[in-house]
Amino acid sequence: MSYEFTIIVPVYNEEDNLARVEKELLAYTKIASKPTKILFVNDGSKDKSQQLIEDICTRNDAFFYILFKENRGLSAAIKAGFDHADTPLVGYIDSDLQTAPSDFNLLLEHIKDNALVTGVRANRKDSFVKNMSSKIANGIRRAFTKDGMDDTGCPLKVIRTDYAKRIPMFKGLHRFLPALILLQNGTIKQVPVQHFPRIAGQAKFGLWNRLLGPLMDCFAYLWMKKKYINYEVAKKK
């Protein structure tokens, strides 16, 4: 089958969620507005996630996986997905499924005119502390990057693969994907999407890596913005 869209699913110790991930993503592939494949990136899980992933990929032709030798973090998992994507479009969703795969169709409606389309979690179903720390972190990041995005932490995005492969990814900079697309002179758009409570598994981000860590990353982004190389070829033989 000729696929046009790859959905990256980063996984780290999500054995309790993977049966639901299979069910919902398989259902999405049947209603997707573009032919879609699923790429699990197992970030060195220590539970039974890998065996479950291999079983899922054996059962379903459109499901594939990458297994890291050791845990390298969310940014590394997303980058690996970008590096291995072989379709014109790539996106990602968290394996906790706090966002709905069906909402990818909302984002795909706008990708023709943009390099990146990201979800904005409407009516978030998180704790007060998580919501407030996220809101503060987004405000700080927006002040640094001037990207105009309200919710870069939303784990539902679609990106044109040629842009995704040029993103200079570093640990923690998955929060800066819209700003990194702007460095390439790409256009970005945000679209409201659904949000749900986490049903199973453990959240991987606490106050430090949701608020204080991203503040430090803002300075890394500013350094990178100053040093970033971007060019267009006018002519060649």
DSSP letters spanning 42-79:
E---SSSHHHHHHHHHHH-TTEEEEE-SS---HHHHHH
For 5-227, CATH number out of 3.90.420.10, 1.10.287.3510, 3.90.550.10, 1.10.10.2520 equals 3.90.550.10
Predicted structure pTM score? 0.84
Residue 129 has pLDDT above 70, yes or no: no
Question: Of 21-35, 58-72, 184-198, which range is least confident?
Answer: 184-198
Average pLDDT, integer, range 157-183: 90
Tens-place pLDDT, residues 73-89: 999 999 999 999 999 99
Q: What is the mean pLDDT of residues 188-207?
A: 74
Q: What is the mean pLDDT of residues 143-166?
A: 86
Burial of 24 (0-12, 13-18, 19+ CB in 10 A): middle
Cα 2–chain centre separation: 23
pLDDT band at 204 (very low <50, low <70, confident <90, very high): low
pLDDT band at 205, cuts 50/70/90?
Answer: low
Residue 180 scores a pLDDT above 60: yes
Calculate mean pLDDT across residues 150-176.
Answer: 87
Question: Which of 12-21, 161-170, 173-182 ranks highest by mean pLDDT?
Answer: 12-21
pLDDT at 197: 73
Q: Give the pLDDT of residue 191.
A: 95
For the record, the structure tokens of 37 come out as: 């494949």
What pLDDT does 198 receive? 66
Q: Quick one: pLDDT band at residue 136, thresholds 50, 70, 90? A: low
Average pLDDT value for the chain: 87
Mean pLDDT of 149-157: 84
**In this structure, are residues 193 and 120 in contact, taking their beta carbons and an 8 Å threshold?**
yes
Q: What is the pLDDT of residues 47-66, one digit of tens each?
A: 999 999 999 999 999 999 99
DSSP secondary structure, 90-126, as one string: EEEE-TT--S-GGGHHHHHTTGGG-SEEEEEESS--S
Q: Above 80 in pLDDT, residue 201?
A: no
Which of 46-55, 153-162, 175-184, 188-197 ranks highest by mean pLDDT? 46-55
